[in-house]
Structure 1
Amino acid sequence: MQQPRITARQFDASDGLRAHIAKQMGSLDRLYDGIHDPRVVLAEQSGSKRAEVALRVYRQTLTASAEASSHESAVDEAVRQMRRRVLRYKARLRRK
């Protein structure tokens, strides 16, 4: 998988946060080889932190988002959701 494109809206993401995102997104690479153009968008909305994760797979874009009290935990939850979506996508491919 390529390095994820990280966008931080209205704040600067620290190097530690960027490393955490890269590590979490790297765990998705073991699930499916056909992942392209990984993107992570981080935002702060009314005190809560939001993370949106998007991946391109063959002719589709898979997305997941989560809100939490910190960006790290929001990223963890969004990646957990994305892991389920990638596994569901793989299962659909096997059935065909």
Structure 2
Amino acid sequence: MRINISARHFRASRNLKNFTEDEVKRLKKYYDGIIDCEIVFEKQKEIRSCEIMLKVYGTRLTASERTDDHFKSVVGAVDKLENQLRKYKSKLRNQRNGRSETKIPLGS
């Protein structure tokens, strides 16, 4: 997985970059097919935001979090992506097994 980190309106510290890379690598245990990861930090007065965009086979997953600290924002965004990856993986599993997500009523 390739990880690209960028920051708007400030310079991201090495500590923040290392922490972010460790948190994002944690997502591999939920789905191993992550191709690319782009992380954008932004600083606006008192608000610190983190947006994480994952490219997986067939789709792109995005999560963002806004808090008063970049580290909290990273944790929140990664938690959201964990849920999205679980849903995506179960959707793939259902398609492989021939199960449909929509239920068709029988008879009338």
TM-score, normalised relative to structure 2: 0.85
| Distance in 1 of aligned mates of 2:43 and 2:52 | 15
Matched letter for residue 69 of structure 1: D
Q: Deviations over 1:53-89 (max 9, x none)?
A: 0001112100000001100000100000001001110
Q: Deviations over 1:9-58 (max 9, x none)?
A: 01000000000001000100111111011011000124110000000111
Alignment of 1:1-96 (within 5 A): 1-2=1-2, 4-96=3-95
Matched letter for residue 75 of structure 1: V
Identity of aligned residues (%): 34
The structure with higher relative contact order (CA 8 Å, sep 6+) is: 1
4+ runs deviating over 4 angstroms = none
Cα RMSD (Å) of the superposition? 0.8
Aligned to 1:6, the other structure's residue is in SS state strand
Matched letter for residue 93 of structure 1: L
Gaps of 5+ in 2: 96-108
| Distance in 2 of aligned mates of 1:18 and 1:49 | 15
Gaps of 5+ in 1: none
For these two proteins, the number of residue pairs brought into alignment is 95
| Distance in 1 of aligned mates of 2:10 and 2:66 | 16
TM-score, normalised relative to structure 1: 0.95
Aligned to 2:24, the other structure's residue is in SS state helix
